[in-house]
Amino acid sequence: MRYPELSYWLSTVDEPLTPRPPLAGDTDADVVVVGAGYTGLWTAYYLAVADPTVRITVLEAQIAGYGASGRNGGWCSALFPTSLPALARRHGRDRALAMQRAMRETVHEVGRVVAAEGVGCDWRQGGTVVLARSEVQLDRARAEVAAARAHGLDPDDLVLLDAAEASARCAAEGVRGGTYTPHCAAVHPAKLVRGLARAVEARGVRIAERTPVTEIRAGAAVTPHGTVRAPVVVRATEGWTPGLPGHRRTIAPVYSLMVATAPLPDSTWDEIGLTGRETFSDHRHVIVYGQRTADGRLAFGGRGAPYHFGSRVSPAYDREPRVFAALRRTLGELFPVLGPDVPVTHRWGGPLGVARDWHASVGLDRASGLGWAGGYVGDGVGASNLAGRTLADLILGRDSDLTRLPWVGHRSPRWEPEPLRWLAVNAALRLMLAADRAELRTGRPSRRAATVSRLLNH
Ligand SMILES: Cc1cc2nc3c(=O)[nH]c(=O)nc-3n(C[C@H](O)[C@H](O)[C@H](O)COP(=O)(O)OP(=O)(O)OC[C@H]3O[C@@H](n4cnc5c(N)ncnc54)[C@H](O)[C@@H]3O)c2cc1C
């Protein structure tokens, strides 16, 4: 496996991606973590900080950062996949607001730790601007701000922008307004995950790479190289979860794909803006997301790749020429200054994890000692840090503000068996794409989008 080819980010970390040694036979630990992405590593980090005597082993099928953590858009945001109104309906307004507050604090917490641990990951908290480029999108922006106010969010948490204000941050074509939140930092995601792996190792955590776990059961994680026996076993496998026995329908892997341009000249950046390295998107249905990288590229991604039958995950699915072409086209529509000549130098993708009710969760079953976190959809960069802190509290038996948050112990329903799952997820995707096209054509909001929301129980 040529790890640097997995993403632009993994190709630009300041270290060779030489795998650490695999597990060398049966062993014991106090906590074994399966998966060395942000979730597994943040869990190990906070456990090791809280109690350096806890013996922690992390088992990783490939290398730390092989998964979505080494490939994502680098938005360390306060976003949570379940919307605030949906959270309030399910858990009550106070608990929904507590969840949002915890997510906002999480952005600062990640910033604090990367500074304290010397994890150089091009951190810049410039916030997020979400553009409205049609009247329909502007209506959606207004509705989002109104809902935030109605639920008691501070005016500064989400600001409605007029056309001039939005363009001043991100001068895309046809901007009519937008929204801005300060609660997001742009990061180099692979530098973050690789730096985190080094930080946990320095605190005595053992990371065994190229060590796939074939079974998780109470008291043990089983691998071809041996079994780690531990009273606590944490599953942190996100998009790969369906490959574990008993978890075929726990999480659906959905692919998100990205492209990166060559570094752009200053003259181009003078026209585009993003001077605070604000992360950016627009108010369409099928999510697109971008950042201005520290070395002056546009890194830009979106969903739209198909879901694969049986929740299969494969390196072959990371690349979808049709989606890469659509992303380049969309970049050109947003920023005509790029012209046809600005080269795309990198193309990649990876699976993220979606729970059936779109509700991320974290938990520890005290009877079995089995813990888990995930289902973040496209919002795991921040949320995984909150999950790691929460799992550390749960494992150490600490009752805290974190362990009382509404996502703790939440059990999502299982996905439908195939072929229903395949039909539903791909139909939803197609409907969303069609809704965006229809809105562009007619200038009216699409009913299809509401149907999809209901379908997905989002
Ligand atoms: C293209 C893309 C763009 C994204 N953009 C953003 C963004 O901008 N902001 C945001 O917040 N989120 C984003 N996300 C989502 C975010 O990256 C994830 O939510 C987050 O990285 C999840 O971290 P994780 O540690 O839970 O999972 P992962 O990083 O996927 O890690 C899981 C790890 O477990 C390992 N593993 C799996 N099965 C086994 C096994 N059986 N045995 C041993 N090891 C195993 C895998 O090899 C992998 O290393 C994006 C995702 C993608 C794919």
The pLDDT tens digits for 171-200 are 999 999 999 999 999 999 999 999 999 999
Whether 352 is in the pocket of ligand 1, judged by its Cβ within 6 Å, is: yes
CB-based burial label for 311 (10 Å; 0-12, 13-18, 19+): buried
Residue of the CA atom closest to atom 11 of ligand 1: 379
What is the three-class DSSP state of 251? coil
The Å distance, Cα 65 to ligand 1 centre, comes to 8
The Å distance, Cα 411 to ligand 1 centre, comes to 20
Q: Which amino acid is at 161?
A: L
CA-77 nearest atom, ligand 1: 11
Whether 376 is in the pocket of ligand 1, judged by its Cβ within 6 Å, is: yes
The Å distance, Cα 376 to ligand 1 centre, comes to 9
The Å distance, Cα 67 to ligand 1 centre, comes to 4
Using pLDDT thresholds of 50, 70 and 90, give the confidence band for residue 458: very low
Burial 273-299 (b: 16+ CB within 10 A, else e): bbeebbbbbbbbbbbbbbbbbbeebbb
CA-211 nearest atom, ligand 1: 43
CA-241 nearest atom, ligand 1: 38
The Å distance, Cα 174 to ligand 1 centre, comes to 34
Q: What is the number of H-type helices and E-type strands within the chain?
A: 11, 20
pLDDT score of 305: 85
pLDDT score of 437: 80
Question: Which residue has 């530098």 as its token pair?
Answer: 191
The Å distance, Cα 388 to ligand 1 centre, comes to 14
pLDDT score of 417: 93
pLDDT score of 4: 97
pLDDT above 70: residue 429 = yes
**Run of H or E residues at 159:** strand 159-162
Edge to edge, the sheet with strand 27-28 lists 27-28, 226-229, 220-223, 215-217
CA-221 nearest atom, ligand 1: 42
The Å distance, Cα 155 to ligand 1 centre, comes to 32
Find the distance separating the first CA and the last CA of the chain, reported in whole Å. 36
Q: What percent of the chain has pLDDT over 90?
A: 86
pLDDT above 50: residue 457 = no
The Å distance, Cα 153 to ligand 1 centre, comes to 29
Using pLDDT thresholds of 50, 70 and 90, give the confidence band for residue 440: confident
Assess whether the previous peptide bond of 419 is cis (omega < 30° from 0). Answer: yes
On whether the CB atoms of residues 320 and 303 are closer than 8 A, the answer is no
Least reliable range by pLDDT among 76-85, 271-280, 304-313, 364-373: 304-313
Residue range 397-415: mean pLDDT, rounded: 97
Higher pLDDT, 435 or 240: 240
Q: What is the mean pLDDT of the chain?
A: 94
Whether 379 is in the pocket of ligand 1, judged by its Cβ within 6 Å, is: yes
On whether the CB atoms of residues 259 and 327 are closer than 8 A, the answer is yes
The Å distance, Cα 118 to ligand 1 centre, comes to 22
pLDDT above 80: residue 265 = yes
pLDDT score of 450: 62
Best of 238, 247, 281, 347 to mutate for ligand 1, by most ligand atoms within 8 A of CB? 238
CA-212 nearest atom, ligand 1: 42
Whether 75 is in the pocket of ligand 1, judged by its Cβ within 6 Å, is: yes
Question: Which residue has 């935030």 as its token pair?
Answer: 148
Q: Write out pLDDT tens, residues 138-162.
A: 999 999 999 999 988 889 999 999 9
Residue of the CA atom closest to atom 9 of ligand 1: 75
